[in-house]
Chain A
Amino acid sequence: MKKLPKEVIKLIEDYFNLNINGKKVKTPYHINVKHARAELRSLVGKGTPQEIEEEVNIFAKLRNFNLKKTSENEIREFMQKEGIGVDCSGLVAHILDTWVKSEKKGNLRTNVVFPKMSFLKRIIIALRPIENINADLLTNKFNSIPVELENVQIGDLIRLKGIERGHHIAIITNVNEKEIEYIHSTKHYGQDNGIKRGKIKIVNKKKDLEHQKWLEKDKDGVCWTLKQFLKEKNDNGIRRPKFFVKE
């Protein structure tokens, strides 16, 4: 059975427990919808935990926001207001990048197949790989293969949503006979947005994810992740990155 490398476990823990002035803060969700000009990657949802922590400290100085006197929730609100957080592909890309590096197999960029592009775009990707790897790219047919539920393993990806409003992605971090655990960064679930753990209870291994019991729910009992899965259901599902298949 595949295991998460300890570097990946640490990275995930760091996203769940950002160290902001001695307080542990869960990384909120942020995506660069405005395509802000020349923004730092930590301000477009693609930062590492360390970059996010640094940016919070800088913005707190800039805005006279007292990190000592504020609670974890207030810090999260401040982060969301300032556009500091991580999006789904930023989180998964960093996890996979750390994973590949921990196994000394280059980095994520060298293991991903990009579509045909100009020379300039290639240079940009070489310089800013994480910003140029999105959910669709990681789970398309060039970079991943569909996996049946009965063969799911740690490190597999869940392709969600669709072309219409952009794809969403989650990464599976634990698998046993009864349950699948995944991690993603989501804009849903109200104040609980951002990096989040979710579980899927396996009801029938022979059927696809739609027929399993999704345990992640908001206060009204809605599972947004399942809704996202159902959006373009035929194109969604579990995917295994090809660089994991080569093993």
Chain B
Amino acid sequence: MTEAITIILLSTFFAFAIAPLIINILYRLNVVRKIENDFSSIVGERTQKEGTPIMGGLIIIITTLVVTLTLNWNTYTYIPIIVLLISATLGALDDLLNIFGRKRLVRPLHKHIRLAMIHKNWKKRVWLALLIPWSAYKNIWYKLGSYPGKGIHAGEKIIVQTLTGGIVAFWLFSYLGISTIWIPFLGDFEIGFLMPFFIIFTIISMSNAVNISDGMDGLSSGLLISSYSAFLLIAIIEQQTEIALLLATIIGSLIAYLYFNIKPARIEMGDIGSLSMGALLATIAFLQDKIFLLPIIGLPFVIEIGSSLLQSIYKSIFRRRLFKMAPLHLHYLIKGWSEEKVVMRFWLFGLITAIIGFWIYIISI
């Protein structure tokens, strides 16, 4: 416990120290929010966010890396750090392409096939023919409602996230031979070969859930602090020191980040932070064998991604709205709640669900 608190403080101070520097560098490099690339900015009031540096997740990533590599580098932490790095790289690419990239359109499949047949250059024809399956894959995502923009497309993101989940799945299932999940009150439950699929699915879902929740100043970081804190308490009780210290590092860096992210934000997390924090949360839940508690402790994230999914399905089928807007935090914003009100109520909700998750853990051990 003392070690964890020390690491939280250390990590907070470190993050506070590097944050102004990172904010300054991002400003200089013009890594700032541009309204036309931002989905959440479709809400008129959010145009005020234009010009705020994004990729603030760097504060969390750098702090976690430095503190973990110097004080907590061992067999329990290298897989989470690899997950963190892969997801952060994916997020960083997305953030940078969204700012500096060009719009990437999806060519309809029939046009792609036609081009592969008639292109005047035979090398290009072969190349296009080889790319038909890839074009078909991208078209499926397009049909499912993913709007292509400047950044990484949904289909591409899913591939990298599957790879990230695959690494965790390989390590847990093939290397350590873990194929059970712990269910409160019932104990361990064998799921066999489904385990890798379950791991990949959970990591993809959580990564995107946190990404979707990162749509208002302070929202995702506040929720992440509650969720990570619940898992920290569990790690302390289970005497998983290495994991506890990793969690403490993340919480510390999130506290400092939140200071700068509170409305009006001086910096925003960006995909670099949200995708990696979500993937890491799921990875740590698997490492602690407390994956069943993840949808309870992280219920706000589940609700956020669930509302987006439901809205999308409902709109596709009935051409009507289920919520005024999705994800859910935008529904309340449209309803007339102020941004602060939405964020603080979500924080409270996140705190309650984290307490409930921890309570379920306590009474079931």
Interface size class of A (residues with CB under 8 A): 10 to 19
Segment among B56-64, B201-209, B310-318 that sits at the interface with chain A: B310-318
CB-CB under 8 A from A61, the residues of chain B are 43-45, 333-334
A-B contact pairs, 17 of them (CB 8 A): A38-B315, A38-B319, A39-B319, A40-B319, A42-B320, A46-B319, A51-B320, A54-B324, A57-B334, A61-B44, A61-B333, A61-B334, A62-B44, A63-B44, A64-B45, A64-B47, A128-B319
**CB within 8 Å of A: which B31-59 residues:** 42-45, 47
**CB within 8 Å of B: which A45-67 residues:** 46, 51, 54, 57-58, 61-65
Nearest B residue to A124 via CB reads B317
Tell me the complex Cα distance, A119–B195, Å: 38
CB-CB under 8 A from B317, the residues of chain A are 127
| Interface class of chain B by DSSP | helix
The answer to whether B334 and A40 have CB atoms under 8 Å apart is: no
The answer to whether A58 and B320 have CB atoms under 8 Å apart is: no
B321 near A: Cβ within 8 Å? yes
CB-CB under 8 A from A127, the residues of chain B are 317-318
A131 near B: Cβ within 8 Å? yes
A contact residues vs B (CB 8 Å cutoff):
38-42, 44, 46, 51, 54, 57-58, 61-65, 127-128, 131
CB-CB under 8 A from A63, the residues of chain B are 44
B contact residues, total (Cβ < 8 Å):
17
CB-CB under 8 A from A58, the residues of chain B are 321, 324-325, 334
Pick from B42, B315, B319: contact of A62, CB below 8 A: B42
Tell me the complex Cα distance, A64–B321, Å: 20
CB-CB under 8 A from B45, the residues of chain A are 61, 64
> Taking the nearest CB of chain B, how far is it from the CB of A191, in angstroms?
26
CB-CB under 8 A from A57, the residues of chain B are 334
Tell me the complex Cα distance, A132–B44, Å: 33
CB-CB under 8 A from A128, the residues of chain B are 318-319
The answer to whether A40 and B320 have CB atoms under 8 Å apart is: yes
Which of B47, B319, B334 has the most chain A CB atoms inside 10 A of its CB?
Answer: B319
> Taking the nearest CB of chain B, how far is it from the CB of A189, in angstroms?
28
Tell me the complex Cα distance, A128–B321, Å: 13
Nearest B residue to A51 via CB reads B320
> Taking the nearest CB of chain A, how far is it from the CB of B111, in angstroms?
16
Nearest B residue to A40 via CB reads B319
Tell me the complex Cα distance, A63–B42, Å: 7
The answer to whether B321 and A40 have CB atoms under 8 Å apart is: yes
> Taking the nearest CB of chain B, how far is it from the CB of A43, in angstroms?
9
Nearest B residue to A46 via CB reads B319
Nearest A residue to B334 via CB reads A61
Nearest A residue to B319 via CB reads A41
The answer to whether A41 and B44 have CB atoms under 8 Å apart is: no
CB-CB under 8 A from A64, the residues of chain B are 44-45, 47
Pick from B43, B316, B324, B333: contact of A38, CB below 8 A: B316
The answer to whether A41 and B320 have CB atoms under 8 Å apart is: yes
CB-CB under 8 A from B334, the residues of chain A are 57-58, 61
